[in-house]
Copies of this chain bind each other. A is one copy, B any other.
Amino acid sequence: MAAWSERLAGVRGVLLDISGVLYDSGAGGGTPIAGSVEAVARLKRSQLKVQFCTNESQKSRGELVAVLRRLGFDISEGEVTAPAPATCQILKERGLRPYLLIHDGVRSEFDHVDMSNPNCVVIADAGEGFSYQNMNKAFQLLMDLENPVLISLGKGRYYKETSGLMLDVGPYMKALEYACGVEAEVVGKPSPEFFNSALQAMGVEAHQAIMIGDDIVGDVGGAQRCGLRALQVRTGKFST
């Protein structure tokens, strides 16, 4: 294996995943992962650009940043690339009016979106919101559309909370895909558009950036396919 200095040669920007890398979410706001508050602080004191690239879809960026700041992280909303705002952009560009199967915590990101007479379904990590009734409503709506559009904020299998592993949005995306015979459009990692928007936010080219995450598919695989380097941490879901 090449030395670290060689593997990091030419790196100008760092994309940091949040859940499982900076902290494990959970009751009372979750807990920071050992060493991560100081690691972020050191990165920010360095010459490197830093952007937080997350598939968090239960919380708005504002809520997420507030939680992380309470845990001691130096982070602001503008430094966070998240799937909800990226989805709002897509809805606007394509004239889509969503039925939202999402967590209340992220609903404020969709405040200015027209939701009358829905012509698509947007799902995110809805947690307890993934009731049979809500899933069935999303299913019936998709079955009624001539051109069903299903947008999924990420496709993670699960994530780690302080209390244990929790089902993420991916399994529910698969359920609706199978039920309706459609393929979801994934907004978030590992989609190339999503990595590119995070790179743009730091003004760094793909070959000058490294992604640090705990998910071998969403973080590492996705970044590598975009020409970034990637590093998998041994915290979060890695350690399960």
Residues on A facing B (Cβ under 8 Å): 126-133, 135-136, 139-140, 143, 157-158, 164-168, 170-172, 174-181, 240
On chain B, the residues within 8 Å of A179 by CB distance are: 157-158, 167-168, 170-171
Of A128, A166, A178, A240, most B-chain CB atoms within 10 Å: A178
| Chain B, residue nearest A179 (CB) | B171
Q: Are A174 and B178 in contact (CB under 8 A)?
A: yes
On chain B, the residues within 8 Å of A139 by CB distance are: 158, 165, 167, 171
Q: Are A175 and B165 in contact (CB under 8 A)?
A: no
Q: Are B178 and A157 in contact (CB under 8 A)?
A: yes
Q: Are B140 and A165 in contact (CB under 8 A)?
A: yes
Q: Are B175 and A136 in contact (CB under 8 A)?
A: no
Main secondary structure of the interface of A (DSSP, over half): helix
On chain B, the residues within 8 Å of A133 by CB distance are: 128
**Smallest CB–CB gap between A240 and chain B, Å?**
7
Which of B143, B175, B181 is the one whose CB lies under 8 Å from A175? B175
Q: Are B128 and A240 in contact (CB under 8 A)?
A: no
Which of B129, B165, B180 is the one whose CB lies under 8 Å from A132? B129
**Smallest CB–CB gap between A138 and chain B, Å?**
9
Of A139, A165, A175, A181, most B-chain CB atoms within 10 Å: A175
Which of B130, B143, B157, B240 is the one whose CB lies under 8 Å from A135? B130
Assembly CA distance A174 to B133 (angstroms)? 18
Q: Are B129 and A166 in contact (CB under 8 A)?
A: no
**Smallest CB–CB gap between A85 and chain B, Å?**
25
Q: Which 10 A-B pairs have the closest CB atoms?
A: A171-B175, A171-B179, A175-B175, A174-B178, A130-B132, A128-B132, A174-B174, A157-B179, A171-B178, A136-B167
On chain B, the residues within 8 Å of A178 by CB distance are: 157, 170-171, 174
On chain B, the residues within 8 Å of A167 by CB distance are: 132, 135-136, 139, 175, 179
